[in-house]
Every structure is written in structure tokens, then in C-alpha cells.
Homo-oligomer: A and B are copies of this chain.
């Protein structure tokens, strides 16, 4: 018998890999957020764009992309879709850039979505005390900074 029968659990050589668990946790959390935001016909990436525009009215599309790590080429269809659904409006800054703002509809959708995000965040943090939450947040930001290639 080179290994235990298939009815038993497999050995999981990835169980103690921080990078693997980081990915699995991220995928699981994103899937849940995606489901929850679907109520408002929003995808997570669209939601993040709305949040940045709301916090920085008049921001340009390129600036939003740099903030979120989304390339210009990929921002175009996202903003285009948000504009088409009347969630975001574009107003010319100069003749090559446009200022982005939320429409009233966009602000309303964002408001509803923020409740979903707050619930999601609560669920993520549940079971952690202050010290653990700080350690986790420090780890995540540190990893992001140390591993970032900043190509967007």
C-alpha cells in the first residue's frame, strides 16, 4: 500500500504554505463578495472603481486605474460600462482627459453596496481580536508592498 485508500483524506502538502492559503482565502472571500454584489448588478472591480470615484470626485480614469492596480487598457471597458448604466458620468478636463463623477443613481447604488461591503468586512474579521486583526492587516499590506511590481 503506497498510500491510504481513496476514501480517506489525502495528504495536503499545501496546508502549511502561507502563499497557498493566502490565495485560497482570497478566492473564497472574493466569490462571496461577488455573489453579494450581484444583487446590485455590480462586480467587485466595478465596485472598487465606484468607491475611488466617490472618494475623489473629478478623478480621471487613469488615476483610478493606478490607485487600483488596473491597467488603462482594462479601465476603458469598465468605465464604459458604468457610464452606459448611468452610474458614472464623464466631464472633460482638457481635451484628452475626463473627470469622473458618480451620478445620483451611482451614489444610490454605491450606498446600497457599502452595506454589503460592511457586512462582508464584519464576517472577515469575525473571530479575531484587536491584536490579530492588526497583525493580519500589517501582513497583507506588507506583502502587497514587498511583492508589488508596479507595472500599471
**Interface on A for B, CB 8 Å cutoff?**
2-7, 10-14, 16-33, 48, 51-52, 54-60, 63-64, 67-69, 93-94, 97, 99, 117, 120-121, 123-128, 131-133, 135-144, 146-149
Q: Could you tell me if A56 and B24 are in contact, using CB atoms closer than 8 angstroms?
A: no
* Across-interface contacts of A17 in B (CB, < 8 A): 117, 121
A56 neighbours in B (Cβ, 8 Å): 3, 6-7, 10-11
Q: List 16 A-B contacts (CB under 8 A).
A: A6-B93, A6-B99, A11-B56, A12-B52, A12-B55, A17-B121, A18-B140, A19-B121, A22-B26, A25-B140, A25-B144, A28-B143, A28-B147, A124-B143, A135-B135, A136-B136
Q: CB-nearest residue of chain B relative to A54?
A: B13
- The copy count of this chain in the complex is 2
**Interface residue SS majority, chain A:** helix
Chain B residues with CB under 8 A of A68: 14
A126: B residues at CB distance < 8 A: 146
CB distance from A71 to the nearest CB of B (A): 13
Q: Are A4 and B63 in contact (CB under 8 A)?
A: yes
Q: Contacts A5-B93, A59-B3 hold; do A137 and B13 have CB atoms under 8 A apart? A: no
- A18-B63 in contact (CB<8A): no
